[in-house]
Amino acid sequence: MSAAGTSMPRIVEVRKNILKHNDELARQLRRKYADAGVFVVSLVSSPGSGKTAFLEKTLTKLAHTHRTAALVGDLATDNDAARLARSGAPVRQITTGTTCHLDAAMVEKALDGWDLGILDFLFIENVGNLVCPSSFDLGESFRVVLLSVTEGEDKPLKYPTIFHSADMAVITKIDLGEACEFDLATARDNIHAVAPGMPIHEVSAKTGTGMDAWIEFLAQRRSAA
């Protein structure tokens, strides 16, 4: 109400999602992936958890039966793209500069000129970070969070948001489990405490343990999608 010439500020209700631009673009990407028939898997984890070794093994194994490609995000360098390219799959590096996560626009730009229709799987390796990537939908079909035995069993409790946002957890470097006195049962309980019922795989990219089961799981998920 205004009285005697003074006026009150005008407040207007808006109710708009802060990330609506990213979410809209992610929806478009999701539709594009579905039209192309490509199953898109994103990988998130802290730096040094073995994402790239795990992805390199995954690409190499899938190469026998499927057509794959990968995008890999880092702040700087194309070292990971060079490593992943050894699998024979097409790989593109996204260097984010100072940004601590990928977003849908970066993914869209990196895909420019690629024919998704010829692919069965596209992998997106996010920047190593357990906080920032959780808020940004990339349009992926399936999000995997990695936890290495060297990080300790309580990571899921310390970073619940990212574990909660994922569809599956993979425990990596299990060949080092004993040396790190890693308690697998506790780790599984902690993952399920923040994400009840989430599927968990245990692998070692180095020795190959658990990799065949993971590949089989992926193929099944793709057929079910």
Using CB under 8 A as the criterion, which residues of the chain lie in contact with other proteins when the complex forms? 7-22, 99-101, 103, 131-132, 134-136, 160-162, 164-165
Give min distance, CB of 105 to other proteins, in A. 11
| 116 vs 112: CA distance, rounded Å | 10
The distance of closest approach from Cβ of residue 2 to other proteins in the complex, given in angstroms and rounded to an integer, is: 8
Query: Closer CB to other proteins, residue 8 or residue 185?
Result: 8
Instruction: Supply the DSSP symbol for 125.
Output: E
Distance of CA 85 to the CA centre of its chain: 19
Nearer to other proteins, 1 or 185 (CB): 1
Give the whole-angstrom CA distance, residue 48 versus residue 52.
9
For residues 38 and 102, which CB has a smaller minimum distance to other proteins in the complex? Answer: 102
**80 close to 1: Cβ distance less than 8 angstroms:** no
d(CA 77, CA 96) in angstroms, rounded, equals 10
For other proteins, the closer CB: 60 or 99: 99
Nearer to other proteins, 98 or 223 (CB): 98
> How far apart (Å, rounded) are the C-alpha atoms in residues 83 and 58?
13
Min dist CB 194 to other proteins, Å, is 10
Compute the least distance from the CB of residue 57 to other proteins, in Å.
29
CA dihedral 161, 105, 108, 102 (to 10 degrees): -40
Q: How far is the CB of 33 from other proteins (least distance, A)?
A: 23
CA distance readout (Å), 172 to 6, 88, 175, 178, 201: 65, 23, 8, 13, 9
Please, which residue, 19 or 215, has the CB nearer to other proteins? Answer: 19
CB 86 within 8 A of CB 107: no
Task: Count other Cβ atoms within 10 Å, centred on residue 75.
Answer: 14
Nearest distance from residue 121's CB to other proteins, in Å? 27
